[in-house]
Structure 1
Amino acid sequence: MKKLILVCVLCIAVYCTTHSQNSIQRTSKEKDKSASIKTSDFTLGQNEFLLNGKPFLIRAGELHFPRIPRAYWDHRIKMLKAMGMNTVCIYLFWNLHEERMDSFDFSGQKDVAAFVRLIQSNGMYCIVRPGPYACAEWDMGGLPWWLLKKKDIKVRSKDDSFFMDRSGKYLKEVGKQLSSLQIQKGGPIIMVQVENEYGAFGKDGDYMEVTRKNVLAAGFDRVQLMRCDWSSNFNNYQTAPSVAVTLNFGAGSDIDKQFELFKKLHPSAPLMCSEYWTGWFDNWGRPHETRSINSFIGSLKDMMERRISFSLYMAHGGTTFGQWGGANSPPYSPMVTSYDYDAPIDEQGRPTEKFFAVRDLLKNYLNPGEKIGVMPTPLDVIEIPKITFTKSANIFNNLPPAKKSKSIMSMEMFDQGWGRINYRTNLTASTVPRKLVVTEIHDWASIFINGKLVGNIDRRRAENTIEIPPVPNNAVLDILVETTGRVNFGEAIIDRKGITEKVEIQEGDHYEELTDWSSYSFPVDYTFQSNVLFKNEPALGPAWHKANFILNKTADTYLDLSTWGKGMVWVNGHNIGRFWKIGPQQTMFVPGVWLKKGNNEIMVLDLEVPAQRTVMGLNRPIVDRIVPDASLLVRKKGQKLDLTSMIPVLKGKFDDRKNWKDVMFKNAISGRYFCLEATTSILDKDVTSAIAELQIIDNENHLISTQKWKVIYADSEEMTAANHAADRIFDNQESTFWQSQYIGGTTQHPHQVVIDLGAEYQIKGFRYLPRSDKNKTGMIKDYNIYISVSPFKM
């Protein structure tokens, strides 16, 4: 009896909702009613969140249930609790639940209600972020691809009635799943977010108001609503006073600086960092991203000392299985399959040094009655001996039925959401080499003539042209396009796939558009792959490769794909995701629950020819090995910018404050090429330079779109110790930055970066943002600005 009473008391102290405590006997209906009112309330107080009328500090960690096999959901939730969290923050992805218009799916791996109930059963609360836009390095930020079938679609805008109608319907479906789990109804959901980081996209408060009303209409009419933005843009628009405003920022941030303006405008509001970035995401062909424990824990401790609520993004990232990985732009930069994120809990669910640092810190800041959770049993990892592939199927021998069109069209217009698409037409005869010009290739293309590979075109490098050899009349041209994730952030989110505009043959100054296309769609679902015809011989060129292997024991493993080229993997029918030899990810996480004792099947679609047709299962990942197909550096060997004949349009000096700095010229200046030259740093002995973001202003005081920008010169980039590439200065991510080389570097001031804006503009000024963390290394002091209509001398 004493043991039962103790269990009941602990349950009430840790988590006091009514309907989850069915084992607790009530003495009367009046007492039950009174307890229901008392234990089901979460509101905004004076500089505090209030749980049942008492101050409550949110210690949340972000988990994405689609990135975790359902069998592991409970394990990951328990890991969060063991790290010191009392709340789980979750995204929903619209495109996951409505892959086809009007066909909603919340079953199996997509059963969000089951995930939220697991959170409750573990004595934790939940913050739900349903969108309709999410970001999260997820394909199109969670928006469904079929929106792009509407040629004039405007997303995240009240001006597009189709988008608003469809997003409203989606939110209602979410409400059917989760509205009964609001804390006021006995569930664990304490807050629901309206949209996501809208201040980084637009300033239309009316759109946010309509979206807020759609959230309410979906049934979230009792729970506390919230929104999140950055400290630099949260005031770009206004929302209803009842919506809690929270901020997002990264490891190492100056906490007082982040909340400085917010506290002036919202002096009585609770403070919360709704995304405290524990690490960062990885891009194909870029160095693996990490964030130091010291900077991460330092800012987290600062928040605890100030009683600022937080959510760790990510607490555990998991894996972006299948086709769901997104991309950044500009420049176009797709995400790897692993969403490890350098988070406290790694991709396989194991604790890292960050995990124990968080746990040791938070045990000192628990709410009354709380205890750190118990660590769950670790999940096993196995090695799998080398598997050799003996069966292959060439893509061109397995073409699906053709779809005819006069002009070339994106894959969405063929009702295809993801995967690969092959475009075929015939060429006229030529006795001399010509150029093939592809306008807007999305995203990576292999060019074949009469079945022979001519070369590749890579959107990451803003490529669109390739030389083709002389050909006879009616030579067959195939352009096999691989999609590598829709843009998930910013104005480039309207990201149709395949070839989105036109293909031309250039001979001298003459351009001829190619027509009469046959298009062949290769979707990503396993059923399609399993129907191809395999032969017991190695195939040349793009092909599927299949093998079987026997296991006596199942557990998690990491498939080593380092000898393969570029493509996708299926294991026992599960789409494991994309691989690419350029790295930094060389292994792919395979959950043990997707393996079987006895016979297993693995299928690899490789668009190149693998160096070795073998794989093996490792007991730990390889996520930090770059094998670049071209130099990562902008500056060509021996190249040097020559500004001796140029006169600066401006010489200036920046202060040492970590805020946006607006600089306007006396008169507008015509130019296409913009050069910022740093001559000294804020720290006198510092010889590096760093820029987080750069925006350029035209003569009508508008920001010039960055979508066509390209860095054509940077004297130095730190790409060894960290991912501080020069194009970070216009990636719309304030926590990333360009920095000149500081490991093994020999360059001194001045440091220059040159941007081709893509067209000539009347330039009136610019905005500069230094790095946003506490570190002042590389902050620019004295600088020169050069602008030119023609390229600078190099």
Structure 2
Amino acid sequence: MSRLINALVCASLWLLSPTMLFANSNEAETSTTVAGSFEAGKGTFLLNGKPFVVKAAELHYPRIPRDYWEHRIKMCKALGMNTICLYVFWNAHESEPDKFDFTGQNDLAEFIRLCKENDMYVILRPGPYVCAEWEMGGLPWWLLKKKDIRLREQDPYFMERVDKFQKAVAAQVADMTIANGGPIIMVQVENEYGSYGTDKEYVGAIRDMLRKNFGEEVTLFQCDWASNFLNNGLDDLIWTMNFGTGANIDKQFAKLKEVRPDSPLMCSEFWSGWFDKWGGNHETRAAENMIAGIDEMLSKGISFSLYMTHGGTNWGHWAGANSPGFAPDVTSYDYDAPISESGRPTAKYHALRETLAKYSDRKLPPVPKTILTIKIPEFGLTEVGPLFANLPAPHKDEKIKTMEEYNQGFGSILYRTVLPELPTSTLLTVNDAHDFAQIFLDGKYIGKLDRRLGEKSLQLPSVGKGVTLEILVEAMGRINFGRAIKDFKGITDNVTITENRDGHKFVCDLGDWEVFNLDDKEEFYNSMEYFPVEAFTPGDDGRMPRGVYRTTFNLNKTGDTFLNMETWGKGLVYVNGHPLGRFWEIGPQQTLYLPGCWLRKGENEIVIFDIIGPKKAVTEGLEKPIIDKLQQTAPITHRDATSTLDLSAETAVINGSFAPGNGWQEIDFDSPVKGRYVCLELLNSQDGGDEAAIAELYLTDADGKRISREPWKVRYADSEEVKKGNHAADKTFDLQESTYWSTVSGIAYPHSIVIDLGAPHTLRGLQYLPRMESHTPGAIKDFRIFVKETDFRY
């Protein structure tokens, strides 16, 4: 009956403008609020009974300074959008169990009210998991204090906590749905679950929570990829697809149109760009490809949400990490989006605005004025609190424990023990250091272990009895995608030393640890004893001491700026108490965005925690960011310049051909074969060109099931295009169908990739996904596959 009443009300209201339908925030509790509806009609969405195409701009309130929220919303409206799409980040709202924060930067309701005041509808995506290149995909770290927890499954504790969170969100905004006269037209159930598993009961349980908390009238939807949306698709939900710039749009919706011919079509994440990782090139996507895709969708009446329209910033410790392997994301979430990290319109913005204007029945609003940008002259940090002279009281434990077991969520942790006499060189192995470990003997730096690079061991020199071993581990973002989101920090298992005596290996598991928790909290930085920087000189490595640096600087006027961190090592920055995020000298990001609204005329305070130590303790404010400058020695390709794969003595498991066109293809071997190293030799392409490209690869086991790709590593690739884009060979198993490995133009076939699976497997076949574009550039035609238990010859 309630749906019928709403339909009758809507039939009389569909002529009203969005402004008339929306009551302003001061009237939200009065009788002038008008109920509306949003639902799926035949081949279209219906807003108040009238066909409606969603043109949504994705942006995230925690990534934008609160003072700039309305500016960014107005930027989206002036672009030609009619809706704001946003995630709700659980871990930002519940940093401790049962302590919910919806104030200040976390004021979700206020952000949605601002959308309403600016005549923008809202698509709410409350998770509980959001991905978004955000710490642990939005899940709070304290869930890991229960070590056996099953995340994103019907684990009783996990579901209990999700229910509490969803109730807390609903208490803030459930009365802001369109049925209640508010701007929220749709609410998402979970997020891309097909990329995690197949569990319709779990997805159904999340749906039931949302129905219970938001009411029966709310329109619910779920999003996934065209390749997996049926795995968890629930019959009573709207289904939307996620895909990126350049994709073959008809192909992306083909299966949905087949199973639901009358469904409205929507790309709920049309990826405008991509995110950056530490040690990789800055990601960009061509504006013309993005605009062509949006133009095509709108010409066909297809709704979309542009992810991201404005990316913003991963303040403090909120940047996540990608998987397989460990690829931590940088602080900037610029995303090569139409609106830059600092809220400025880009060339992409203006070009897209021209296109969207064609699909608007009214003149677009003027583009808001850009916020003033200022330059701050170089200044030095005047005080330093040396880290090793300011350690807190330790815990004492025989066995290694993770950071979470000490009730620590973020920051760094120092493990200390005393070594036995080691008369010869010894191998130290840390299983595993999450994420960046530095090794010291009696205070002297010995080396580092970088999780990104798979480093777990290093050689210790011979030492006498009683030498102190210290392992300083910095936690970076927890993995935000795939099964590896259960990402403990610190040292996750054990530490061993391996000696060779008379030709025999002796392995000793070290114990008797002192553990110092260096939490990323203001209390830790304030507790330090500080000394004048001039009292210290650079060490043999040219660096100043590891520790916390601080000073004040004065401004005559305020405005946005970009702090230059090029002379610093690795760590975190705070200005006037605001966390700006992580820096790391390897790049590509070299500056940190500092919003003018966080500065003040007169005195300002800056605090920098550098876990490596700066080469020079100075900084300055630039008018433009530096987010595309790598300065590291480790190559980002997977071939030694002097090595060439030799397959002359090898026998292929199979010789075959792929079919032309988009979509997944599977090849079965003639019989199962056991091996650890797999080589795919590509002989030619479908288009006759010299480039080869692969979006994704899987290998199947004896039962035809996909094996885990978490331990995979690229052992060799003959060619990788990393100058014109990030198309290295590890893109073949990065869990992202829109990214791809590509060889360099001008290098002739054959092309080869060798993958180390991490352990031997019995393999039955291979699954291959070409690029998503309609003309499938670089699609492979003929190939050979080799499988070996030992590595190939190079």
Structure 1 residue 775, shift from structure 2 partner = 4.8
**What whole-Å deviation, never above 9, does each CA across 1:670-723 have from its counterpart, x for those lacking one?**
111000011101111x21211110000000222111111111111111111111
Inter-partner Cα distance in structure 2 for 1:551 and 1:10: 52
Structure 1 residue 14, shift from structure 2 partner = 3.4
Q: Would the alpha carbon gap of residues 283 and 18 (structure 1) be closer, same or farther in structure 2, given more than 3 Å must change?
A: closer
SS in 1 for 2:250: helix
Structure 1 residue 285, shift from structure 2 partner = 0.4
What is the identity, as a one-letter code, of the residue corresponding to 1:268?
A: D
Normalising by structure 2, report the TM-score.
0.95
C-alpha contact 2:14 2:47 (8 A) present in aligned 1:
no
After TM superposition, the structure 1 = structure 2 runs for residues 134-533 of structure 1, keeping only pairs within 5 Å, are: 134-158=130-154, 160-241=155-236, 243-366=237-360, 370-508=362-500, 509-533=505-529
Aligned to 2:591: 587
* 1:730 maps to which of 726, 729, 733: 733
Aligned to 1:3: none
C-alpha contact 2:338 2:347 (8 A) present in aligned 1:
yes
After TM superposition, the structure 1 = structure 2 runs for residues 644-663 of structure 1, keeping only pairs within 5 Å, are: 644-663=648-667
Inter-partner Cα distance in structure 2 for 1:453 and 1:481: 13
Aligned to 2:614: 610
Aligned to 1:712: 715
Inter-partner Cα distance in structure 1 for 2:252 and 2:329: 28
Given the alignment of the two structures, is residue 641 of structure 1 paired with residue 645 of structure 2, yes or no? yes
* 2:623 maps to which of 610, 619, 623: 619
Given the alignment of the two structures, is residue 111 of structure 1 paired with residue 107 of structure 2, yes or no? yes
Structure 1 residue 22, shift from structure 2 partner = 7.5
Unaligned runs of 5+ in 1: 1-8
SS in 2 for 1:460: helix
Aligned to 2:635: 631
Given the alignment of the two structures, is residue 41 of structure 1 paired with residue 45 of structure 2, yes or no? no
Given the alignment of the two structures, is residue 63 of structure 1 paired with residue 95 of structure 2, yes or no? no
C-alpha contact 1:19 1:186 (8 A) present in aligned 2:
yes
Inter-partner Cα distance in structure 2 for 1:220 and 1:475: 64
Aligned to 1:5: none
Inter-partner Cα distance in structure 1 for 2:378 and 2:561: 13
**What whole-Å deviation, never above 9, does each CA across 1:15-69 have from its counterpart, x for those lacking one?**
3425339889x9xx9xx7xx935xx111111111111100011100001000000
**What whole-Å deviation, never above 9, does each CA across 1:226-285 have from its counterpart, x for those lacking one?**
1110111111123142x1110100011111111011100111110000000000000000
Aligned to 1:772: 772
* 2:705 maps to which of 688, 692, 702: 702
Inter-partner Cα distance in structure 2 for 1:642 and 1:10: 69
Inter-partner Cα distance in structure 2 for 1:721 and 1:312: 24
What is the identity, as a one-letter code, of the residue corresponding to 1:333?
A: A
Aligned to 2:68: 72
C-alpha contact 1:172 1:219 (8 A) present in aligned 2:
no
Normalising by structure 1, report the TM-score.
0.95
C-alpha contact 1:526 1:575 (8 A) present in aligned 2:
no
**Quick check: 170-179 or 538-547, which moved more?**
538-547
What is the identity, as a one-letter code, of the residue corresponding to 2:739?
A: T
Structure 1 residue 374, shift from structure 2 partner = 2.5
Inter-partner Cα distance in structure 2 for 1:526 and 1:552: 27
Inter-partner Cα distance in structure 1 for 2:39 and 2:731: 39
Q: How many residues align?
A: 769
C-alpha contact 1:280 1:342 (8 A) present in aligned 2:
yes
Aligned to 2:8: none
Structure 1 residue 222, shift from structure 2 partner = 2.1
Structure 1 residue 530, shift from structure 2 partner = 2.1
Aligned to 2:7: none
Q: Would the alpha carbon gap of residues 220 and 112 (structure 1) be closer, same or farther in structure 2, given more than 3 Å must change?
A: farther
Structure 1 residue 773, shift from structure 2 partner = 2.4
Inter-partner Cα distance in structure 1 for 2:319 and 2:474: 13
Aligned to 1:6: none
C-alpha contact 1:572 1:602 (8 A) present in aligned 2:
yes
Inter-partner Cα distance in structure 1 for 2:212 and 2:27: 33
After TM superposition, the structure 1 = structure 2 runs for residues 6-21 of structure 1, keeping only pairs within 5 Å, are: 12-17=16-21, 19-20=23-24
C-alpha contact 1:172 1:217 (8 A) present in aligned 2:
no
Structure 1 residue 432, shift from structure 2 partner = 1.4
Unaligned runs of 5+ in 2: 1-12, 537-543
Aligned to 2:572: 568
* 1:549 maps to which of 535, 547, 553: 553
Q: Would the alpha carbon gap of residues 23 and 533 (structure 1) be closer, same or farther in structure 2, given more than 3 Å must change?
A: closer
Q: Would the alpha carbon gap of residues 775 and 471 (structure 1) be closer, same or farther in structure 2, given more than 3 Å must change?
A: farther
What is the identity, as a one-letter code, of the residue corresponding to 1:710?
A: K
Give every structure 1 segment of 4 or more consecutive aligned residues whose post-TM-superposition deviation is greater than 6 Å.
Answer: 21-24
Aligned to 1:785: 785
Structure 1 residue 220, shift from structure 2 partner = 4.2
C-alpha contact 1:20 1:187 (8 A) present in aligned 2:
no
Q: Would the alpha carbon gap of residues 186 and 651 (structure 1) be closer, same or farther in structure 2, given more than 3 Å must change?
A: same
**What whole-Å deviation, never above 9, does each CA across 1:354-398 have from its counterpart, x for those lacking one?**
1111111111112x5x54222222100000000112211111111
C-alpha contact 2:654 2:670 (8 A) present in aligned 1:
no
Aligned to 1:87: 83
Structure 1 residue 205, shift from structure 2 partner = 0.6
Aligned to 2:540: none
SS in 1 for 2:532: coil
C-alpha contact 1:15 1:124 (8 A) present in aligned 2:
no
Inter-partner Cα distance in structure 1 for 2:636 and 2:768: 24
What is the identity, as a one-letter code, of the residue corresponding to 1:343?
A: A
